[in-house]
Amino acid sequence: MNRSYVGGLHSVKAALKSSASEIECLYVQKDRRDTRLRDLQALASKHAIETREVNRSMLNELVSDVQHQGVVALLRTTSSGVREDLQAFVQQLLAGPRTENLLILVLDEVQDPHNLGACLRSADAAGVDAVVVPADNSVGLTPVVRKVASGAAETVPLFQVTNLQRALGELQDAGIWVYGAAGEASESLFELDLTGHVALVMGAEGRGMRRLTRERCDQLYKLPMKGAVSSLNVSVAAGISLFEVVRQRD
């Protein structure tokens, strides 16, 4: 049984709504009077979750790397919150009654928790079905990731795969077209047809996609850059790319 802490008003509210059965306790800053905190306490009470009023210093110790805003939830889970069987998940979606084409975001060794959190937030807004990361050299669902994601860490399925290239091949076998973002690509994002089943691949901070990941993609694309800066932050590039898919499908 794993235990983790989630801090921040948005993150805790999302956890209470989507994973209440996994919350062991809610810690609330005792000298803080906030309507939003009282609402969270009422929601916790509705799910029979114990609430404890504690000093701010204790909250700081529980989630030292995030702004907790006076509330922290203790989660008990049988896993890290990250899923593993991507292939079965995709096949289930494809076999279901849904009419929308799949949209998957793949992050190749993104290690900054702020970037993963921002990508999850954009993924939720764009209706992404799953976010995929390698099991090694990638950040997981840390308190910082959950805080930055503002609830999206609880709504967007996150998959860790042991071999990213093999996982991309399985997506391709399922009929999903894999597009990779690369500055050296000749075709622009806005020239692609993104209306079918699509997986968008983003590289890590600084060095971009690994060579084998790049070679596994069906096609590479670039974001047209008009200024002096040669590249964008991975979370910004992901947001632009995802919403081009949304624009085309709408």
- The radius of gyration computed from the CA coordinates of the chain, to the nearest angstrom, equals 19
Is residue 232 annotated as involved in ligand binding? Answer: yes
Tracing tokens 């932050």 back to the chain, one arrives at 233
**E-only strand ranges, the chain:** 2-7, 23-29, 50-54, 71-77, 103-107, 130-134, 158-161, 177-181, 198-202, 219-221
- Helix axes 234-249 and 113-126, enclosed angle (nearest 10): 10
Dihedral angle over CA of 59, 1, 45, 10, nearest 10: 50
Using a 10 angstrom Cβ sphere, with 0-12 exposed, 13-18 middle and 19 or more buried, the burial of residue 249 is middle
End-to-end CA separation in angstroms for the chain: 43
Tracing tokens 């609430």 back to the chain, one arrives at 51
Among 69, 76, 88, CA closest to 167: 88
> Which segments are annotated as binding site?
203, 223, 232
> Which segments are annotated as binding site for S-adenosyl-L-methionine?
203, 223, 232
